[in-house]
Structure 1
Amino acid sequence: MPSQRELLLMLFEESEQHKIEGRTRLQKLVFLVQQLWDQSDSEVFNFEPYDYGPFSADILHELDHMEEDGLIEEQVTRLPKGKKYTYTLTDQGEQYLSETSDVSDGEIGSVVQRVISQFDSMPISRLLEYVYNKFPDYTVNSKL
């Protein structure tokens, strides 16, 4: 089973330009990987129902640590209604993943590839709609 760090790095590595735009999108991509992975008895991140469906505070904590360690870069863009976060894998992050992880070739690696190819470029409204319809238990605290 990958560590929290390895799972996030795998998602960045598979994404276009090694970049994921938006915290909400990243939360949903990680959630979908865990839901589609057949190891349902062991979760890398714990999710709970929140403002926009499934949410894990552990993801935000790990992102902070990864940025401090130089594995990712975080760019914050101010918008009229808040902020947009963009996370990009660094060369150091790619090197870390190649040196420490042998899980990306296994079943979890193919699940990550499938989730990224199917959902990474999907408009966020459609991604949320998909997650809400497929996993209604995680919408009980939703703002939408």
Structure 2
Amino acid sequence: MSQPLNVENSLDLLLVLLYAPGQEKKECEPIDGITRLQKLIFLLNQGKGPSSLVKIAKEYSFEAYKMGPYTDSLREDLDTLISLGLVGTKRLNYMISDDRDDLDYDIDDPDYKQGEKRKRIESQRFYLTENGKVAGSELWHNLTSKDRDALKEFKTFFCTLTLRQLLIFVYDQFPKFTVKSEIKKQLGL
């Protein structure tokens, strides 16, 4: 008989976060953009969300960077999950006009150039593959109902915010992680 699959490390944390229902109240809701995913994991790391997952999120070490709090380890974990066939990515294209604020798209994306208004912006959507859904489901169902409810509330709230709103929230709550920010003025802070 196999051991139950519990959230025990940062890879499991990403799987259960991607499995959790969000604003559409459906399991396996994807997360759009590496910037959003970085900030969600950062917020867990800082104590927002279910306590059992906050403990796991502490595995990540964040530092101040051009978009606020950042960790290379998250990208490494995503690459691992992608190579294991548990997480997939889909390229997203955003169209913006010259008069629209350019913080509604993913600015940690390599295609973004500071100060340059672009008409077409590309980003990534992170989602669970079929194998990822199986692993995510087991992790999800082995959480306590209290932790499931808290994670659902966390993901729903923070994925409902626009990227700009999410960044303002993070910058306002955690100013020490904004000292190297290149977009503070654009956020009105």
For the superposition of Structure 1 and Structure 2, which TM-score range results when normalised by the shorter chain? Answer: 0.7 to 0.9
Q: Sort the Cα spacing of 1:106 and 1:143 in 2 relative to 1 into closer, same or farther, 3 A.
A: farther
TM-score (norm 2): 0.66
Report matched runs for 1:54-73 at 5 Å.
54-73=69-88
Larger radius of gyration: 2
Which digits, 9 at most, give the CA deviation of each residue in 1:82-115, with x for residues without a partner? 3301111112112123446776326654442232
**Match for 1:139: what amino acid?**
T
Note if contact 2:16-2:139 (Cα within 8 Å) is conserved in structure 1.
no
Distance, in Å, in 2 between the alignment partners of 1:9 and 1:96 is 7
Q: Sort the Cα spacing of 1:46 and 1:107 in 2 relative to 1 into closer, same or farther, 3 A.
A: farther
Distance, in Å, in 1 between the alignment partners of 2:81 and 2:135 is 11
- Of Structure 1 and Structure 2, the greater helix share is in 1
Please tell me whether residue 6 in structure 1 is matched to residue 45 in structure 2. no
**Match for 1:97: what amino acid?**
G
Distance, in Å, in 1 between the alignment partners of 2:144 and 2:86 is 20
Partner residue, 1:31: 42
Partner residue, 1:114: 153
Partner-residue secondary structure (3-state), 1:74: strand
By how many angstroms is 1:18 displaced?
2.1
Partner residue, 2:133: 94
Please tell me whether residue 133 in structure 1 is matched to residue 172 in structure 2. yes
Note if contact 2:19-2:137 (Cα within 8 Å) is conserved in structure 1.
no
Q: Sort the Cα spacing of 1:114 and 1:143 in 2 relative to 1 into closer, same or farther, 3 A.
A: same
Note if contact 1:27-1:55 (Cα within 8 Å) is conserved in structure 2.
yes
**Match for 2:29: what amino acid?**
H
Partner-residue secondary structure (3-state), 1:60: helix
Runs of at least 5 residues in structure 1 that lack an aligned partner in the other structure: none
Partner residue, 1:19: 30
Q: Sort the Cα spacing of 1:54 and 1:106 in 2 relative to 1 into closer, same or farther, 3 A.
A: farther
**Identical positions, percent:** 28
Note if contact 1:10-1:112 (Cα within 8 Å) is conserved in structure 2.
no
TM-score (norm 1): 0.84
Superposition CA RMSD, Å: 2.5
Distance, in Å, in 1 between the alignment partners of 2:61 and 2:146 is 20
Please tell me whether residue 76 in structure 1 is matched to residue 91 in structure 2. yes
Runs of at least 5 residues in structure 2 that lack an aligned partner in the other structure: 1-6, 96-110, 113-121, 184-189
Note if contact 2:19-2:140 (Cα within 8 Å) is conserved in structure 1.
no
Distance, in Å, in 1 between the alignment partners of 2:43 and 2:146 is 14
